Amino acid sequence: MGNVSERRKQPPQVGVSVVILALGPVPQSDVGAGAASSGMGSTLWMPLVKRVRQPFLGQWALPGGGLRADHSLEQSAYAALESTTSLHPKYLEQLYTFGDPARSHGGLPMVSIVYWALVGEADGRIDFAGGDNVKWFPVNHLPELAFDHRTIVEYAMNRLRGKIESPDIATRLVGERFTLSQLHDVYEAIAGQRIDLANFRRKMLASGLLEDTGEKLRIGRNRPAAVYRYSRKPGTDLWTEAGTASESDDTRIAFQDDDALSALMTA
Amino acid sequence: MGNVSERRKQPPQVGVSVVILALGPVPQSDVGAGAASSGMGSTLWMPLVKRVRQPFLGQWALPGGGLRADHSLEQSAYAALESTTSLHPKYLEQLYTFGDPARSHGGLPMVSIVYWALVGEADGRIDFAGGDNVKWFPVNHLPELAFDHRTIVEYAMNRLRGKIESPDIATRLVGERFTLSQLHDVYEAIAGQRIDLANFRRKMLASGLLEDTGEKLRIGRNRPAAVYRYSRKPGTDLWTEAGTASESDDTRIAFQDDDALSALMTA
DNA sequence: TCAAAAGTGTTAAATCTACACCCATGC
DNA sequence: GCATGGGTGTAGATTTAACACTTTTGA
């Protein structure tokens, strides 16, 4: 295996990891009260896997795996995703690549290309209890993580908060049909701040991205709320469905930061 | 070297490339008219290197190199930068990681971690003519590029356009001292649109990020303009100087997308 | 005095924000 | 009726966009 000074000039290992986020109930509290299944006071959850080898044996880590030369990055991310949940991601995007030699902490030098994924709430189909080696945690009650995965998660959360202004990102989390209050809950959950409901509602509706399905949904015993759907304008649709990870992941990069400078523009 | 099916399971090669951008004069035209050196109608330029081996021998490509296990990503990016220009970058940030097996086009499978860098105009110290193996090109007149580097450059430009709303990014391009018109030029150059000067001026000043050095600068033979400096508020300074690539590149990631959702917030 | 760029004013429209208010429903 | 969340109205403040205007300079 060569000695140390040889190894230094070698390329490092390459892996792909995924930060997976899903909407779930608030941790240890009011689930009791009658309500059907979804709604009120959501929190973000993410699955972690228990390490089965050194270093950090037994600790929790992000799902991931080595990169094979004949797989695209996105394919690898997708594979990692499937190792923890059978749900199809509503969103999958490259987050950042971490490659500092120091981060391996006793393991081999490793470059990790990290993706983040959103999977919808999917009507409680997520098993938040989880098995032995995979377990879901609320993002604000994570256990100690292996390597620098804590940093990575924090980065992902920040990015999520930053991205929320794009209206569809939240709708991907909340599910196919939703009331404005539910959507509002998600926004507050992600932002960690209060958002004026009246203004939120208006802004959302004004964006023209929501479509009123005729339906009504009664959450508790109160007035039924209108149920909306995210109306995917044909063509505006960069992403459609993350599941179809068939095309090259290089050619349809989301130019997410676009039109940010519209602020400075003048006709 | 093993056969093909063995190779597939191997990890791919890992490299780091850099898209380097600098402000320069407009290509082939009105440089003649008297004016001192800088000003009016700038364009973005970038250096490319000529490939000295197959595939794509003789074609132009982004500066870059292999990643050594004992180097951080940023160190590698920095090294690539130095191979084409002696200027210190004013900005250096990870752009994206490209890893589709198809992109190698006959070479070995390769994962490229791409950074982008801004180097200031530096008062014409850039040799836009360049040597044999390194040459600067205006971004809108690039030659044919090797691999998928065209895609990468386009991605970088889009990102740049997206980022410009953050006021300091443009000031990094324009140099240490500048007039508002110069800054305005840069914004228009990046945006590719007209921007109302009066409003631009007000918004910039209102941002509180500019500091009036007492100086005046006369560009042509007209009224002298006030010279400003970007006033780096102490602490707000995530970046300070890209040159000091000493710390881990993993710990001080710029959370660039922050406060984007301020739009939805309400106290 | 003229041209050209620097820099200021102004006004109508659009948007935000905060908060008050009405509506529909089951108990 | 009444409590509770759904949903609407609105007045004031703030921000934008457009463009007219004044100032300073060298020629």
Q: What is the DSSP string of A154-169?
A: HHHHHHHHHHTTSHHH
Residues of B in contact with A66 (CB under 8 A): 11
Q: What is the pLDDT of residues A125-145, one digit of tens each?
A: 666 666 678 999 988 889 999
Q: Mean pLDDT, chain A, as a whole number?
A: 77
Where in chain A are all domains bearing CATH 3.90.79.10? 12-163
Report which of residues 215-244 in chain A place their beta carbon less than 7 angstroms from any atom of strand C: 218, 221-224
Distances (CA, A) of B171 to B98, B183, B204, B211, B232: 29, 7, 11, 12, 11
Q: What is the pLDDT of residue A190?
A: 85
| Pairing of the two strands B64-66 and B91-98 | unpaired
| A191 with B162: Cβ contact below 8 A | no
Of A253 and B231, which is predicted with more confidence?
B231
Answer yes or no: CATH 3.90.79.10 is held by domain A12-163: yes
Distances (CA, A) of B247 to A88, A114, A158, B169: 38, 21, 21, 22
Contact between A174 and A183 (Cβ < 8 Å): yes
By C1' distance from the Cα of B199, the closest nucleotide is: D17
Q: Per mean pLDDT, which range of A191-205, B68-82, B159-173, B229-243 is the poorest?
A: B229-243
Q: How many CB pairs under 8 A join A and B?
A: 202
β partners of residue A66: A15
Mean pLDDT of A73-100: 90
Mean pLDDT of B33-61: 74
Kindly determine whether the C-beta of residue B246 is less than 7 Å away from any atom of nucleic acid strand D: no
Q: What is the pLDDT of residues B126-178, one digit of tens each?
A: 666 666 789 999 888 899 999 999 999 999 988 888 787 777 788 888 888 89
Q: Report the residue of A97, A112, A113, A187 to disrupt the B interface, i.e. the one with the largest count of B CBs within 10 Å.
A: A97
| B164 with A261: Cβ contact below 8 A | yes
Q: What is the pLDDT of residue B26?
A: 72
Q: What is the pLDDT of residues A226-243, one digit of tens each?
A: 999 987 654 443 343 343
Mean pLDDT of B58-68: 94
Contact between A92 and A74 (Cβ < 8 Å): yes
Distance A35 CA to C26 C1' (A): 14
Residues 6+ apart with CB under 8 A from A117: A18, A19, A20, A21, A77, A81, A89, A91, A92, A93, A242
Q: Which of A172-176, A258-262, B25-29, B67-71 has the highest mean pLDDT?
A: B67-71
Where in chain A are all domains bearing CATH 1.10.10.10? 166-239
**Buried b vs exposed e over B46-77: b needs ≥16 C-beta within 10 Å?**
bbbbbbeeeebeeebebbbeebbbebbbbbbb
| B72 with A148: Cβ contact below 8 A | no
Question: Which top CATH class is B166-239?
Answer: mainly alpha
Mean pLDDT of B230-240: 51
